[in-house]
């Protein structure tokens, strides 16, 4: 495709994404479905360019003020993730001059807002939560997340998977904390590889793998994944249970549970029972009360721990939305807790980095449920032989951060029912 035609497409796609009517990944996928002739390299350039602009939107909007032509074209030029000479071939001479000037700006002299690229409400909340660690976090959120895999222990061993990937030209190394994880170099088209198709691996951030380890299900147990969604954690739990016992995958979204099905088929698991519920107090939930060994509540949340993958969230979330989520999180956690039998383990998790959705929810639950005793996440992870488990926790809670652990941002609290 001619460079200018690709830049035009980037401009058009960016216009749609920046309306923020829908999640960026959905807008990008439907754009690609409407432009079937785009090759993998062109898709890669377009998607990465859009994400680069979302990550540094405030900086690029500032730099774009000096140029001319459609704003989205200027933003796409600034965020361009293809090669420079290709882009240069698309630019008029006045654009080339402007682009060179924009690239020569010393970013370190600009106001801090243009350096962290976060909305005020979020920058304020993260500064008070993190103090001087705010800047390392903000910088880590400008980078794309690595590609992590979870080896399906039911079907394969990590070393064998690594060797097979290497033979196919894909370099991978064991993740530092999860015993099931591999971190892959680059972004190979894994979904077409035999090793993926036969269910030996799933794409899963190392942080999510650690959450499943925290639930720690055993053979033959009854386990509930209360907010199972498309089942990322369900699959890890089912494999940890060695395909025994019963694992209920509940969710209010039939669409998300539907996405679990092909993954379940690949995984070889037959101990998983997906079930749609109307809400957290559904009859199906009530029937399980007091019977369950372990419950994971991977609660609906702002998703702000995944900003490396979903940078549009910082522009789509708001304090009001967080407040509404908080009410939902309290209600789901209280309802899910009723399922546990005495001695059972409850895990509340989010992929948020805001205390309101994390420590505040856990503390309120502890206050109102004296029969649930907080358990130290570090102790559980140490028992699961996770290296350096102390570095993954804050008080009793699991606290994962992109800038510290190279995972998405995650929180988890654990209780045992008396």
Ligand X SMILES: C[S@@+](CC[C@H](N)C(=O)[O-])C[C@H]1O[C@@H](n2cnc3c(N)ncnc32)[C@H](O)[C@@H]1O
DSSP assignment of 74-118: HHHHHT--S-HHHHHTT--HHHHHHHHHHHTS-GGGS-HHHHH--
Nearer residue to ligand X within complex by CB, 256 or 404: 256
* Residues 315-344 interacting with ligand X (rule: CB under 6 A): 332
Among candidate residues 319, 152, 310, the one with its CA nearest the CA of residue 238: 152
What burial class does residue 174 get, using C-beta atoms within 10 Å of its C-beta: 0-12 exposed, 13-18 middle, 19+ buried?
middle
Neighbouring residues of 384: CB distance < 8 A, sequence distance ≥ 6: 179, 213, 216
Q: Is 312 known to sit in a ligand binding site?
A: no
- CB of 242 vs ligand X, minimal distance in Å: 20
The answer to whether residue 188 forms part of the interface with ligand X (CB under 6 A) is: no
Output the six-digit token pair for 298: 């991977």
CA quadruple 304, 308, 310, 313: dihedral sign: positive
CB of 247 to ligand X, least distance (A): 12
By CB under 6 A, residue 300 contacts ligand X: yes
Q: Does 263 bind ligand X (CB under 6 A)?
A: no
Instruction: Decide if residue 228 touches ligand X (CB under 6 A).
Output: yes
Nearer to ligand X, 49 or 306 (CB): 306
3-state secondary structure at position 154: coil
- Is residue 229 within the footprint of ligand X (CB under 6 A)? yes
User: Which residue intervals of 24-91 are DSSP H helices?
Assistant: 24-34, 40-55, 57-64, 71-78, 84-88
Task: Provide, rounded to whole angstroms, the least separation between the CB of residue 40 and ligand X.
Answer: 25
Which member of 233, 314, 326, 399 binds ligand X (CB under 6 A)?
Answer: 233
Determine whether 351 is an active site residue.
yes
How many Å apart are CA 358 and CA 360, to the nearest integer? 5
The answer to the question of whether 408 is labelled as a binding residue is no
Our finding on whether 3 is near ligand X (CB under 6 A) is no
In the block, residue with structure tokens 């948020």: 352
User: Which among 78, 184, 297, 351 is annotated as catalytic?
Assistant: 351
Say how many residues touch ligand X, by CB under 6 A: 20
Q: Is 226 in the site for ligand X (CB under 6 A)?
A: yes
Chain mean position to CA 257? 18
**Angle between the N-to-C axes of helices 71-78 and 93-103, in degrees from 0 to 180, rounded to the nearest 10:** 50
| 256 binds ligand X, rule: CB under 6 A | yes
Residue 251 makes contact with ligand X by CB under 6 A: yes
Task: Pick the closer one to ligand X by CB: 157 or 279.
Answer: 279
Which residues define the annotated binding site for S-adenosyl-L-methionine?
251, 298
| Active centre residues (catalytic) | 351
Which residues define the annotated binding site?
251, 298
Instruction: Catalog residues that contact ligand X under the rule CB under 6 A.
Output: 208, 226-233, 250-253, 256, 277, 279-280, 298, 300, 332
């Amino acid at each position: 495709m001619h460079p200018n035609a690709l830049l035009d497409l980037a401009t058009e796609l960016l216009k749609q994404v920046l309306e923020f009517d829908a999640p960026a990944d959905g807008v990008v996928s439907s754009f690609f479905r409407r432009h079937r002739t785009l090759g993998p390299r062109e898709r890669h350039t377009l998607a990465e360019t859009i994400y680069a602009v979302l990550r540094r939107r405030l900086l690029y909007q500032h730099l774009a003020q000096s140029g001319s032509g459609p704003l989205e074209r200027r933003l796409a030029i600034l965020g361009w993730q293809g090669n420079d000479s290709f882009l240069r071939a698309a630019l008029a001479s006045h654009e080339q001059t402007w682009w060179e000037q924009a690239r020569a700006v010393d970013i370190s002299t600009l106001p801090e807002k243009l350096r962290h690229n976060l909305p005020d409400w979020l920058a304020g909340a993260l500064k008070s939560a993190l103090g001087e660690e705010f800047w390392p976090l903000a910088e880590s959120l400008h980078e794309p997340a690595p590609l992590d895999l979870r080896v399906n222990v039911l079907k394969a061993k990590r070393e064998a998977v690594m060797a097979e990937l290497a033979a196919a030209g894909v370099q991978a190394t064991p993740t530092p904390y999860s015993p099931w994880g591999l971190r892959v170099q680059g972004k190979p088209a894994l979904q077409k590889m035999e090793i993926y198709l036969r269910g030996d691996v799933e794409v899963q951030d190392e942080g999510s793998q650690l959450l499943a380890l925290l639930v720690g299900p055993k053979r033959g147990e009854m386990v509930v994944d209360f907010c199972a969604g498309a089942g990322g954690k369900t699959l890890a739990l089912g494999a940890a249970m060695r395909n025994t016992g019963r694992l209920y995958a509940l969710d209010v979204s039939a669409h998300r549970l539907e996405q679990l099905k092909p993954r379940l088929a690949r995984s070889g698991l037959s101990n998983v029972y997906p079930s749609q519920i109307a809400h957290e107090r559904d009859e199906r939930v009530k029937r399980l009360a007091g019977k369950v060994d372990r419950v994971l509540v991977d609660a609906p949340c702002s998703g702000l721990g995944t900003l490396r993958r979903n940078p549009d969230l910082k522009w789509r979330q708001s304090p009001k939305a967080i407040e509404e989520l908080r009410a939902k999180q309290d209600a789901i956690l209280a309802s899910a807790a009723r399922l546990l039998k005495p001695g059972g383990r409850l895990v509340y998790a989010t992929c948020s980095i805001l205390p309101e959705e994390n420590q505040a929810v856990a503390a309120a639950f502890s206050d109102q449920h004296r029969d649930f005793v907080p358990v130290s996440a570090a102790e559980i992870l140490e028992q699961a032989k996770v290296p350096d488990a102390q570095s993954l926790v804050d008080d009793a809670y699991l606290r994962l951060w992109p800038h510290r652990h190279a995972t998405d941002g995650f929180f988890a609290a654990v209780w045992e029912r008396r």
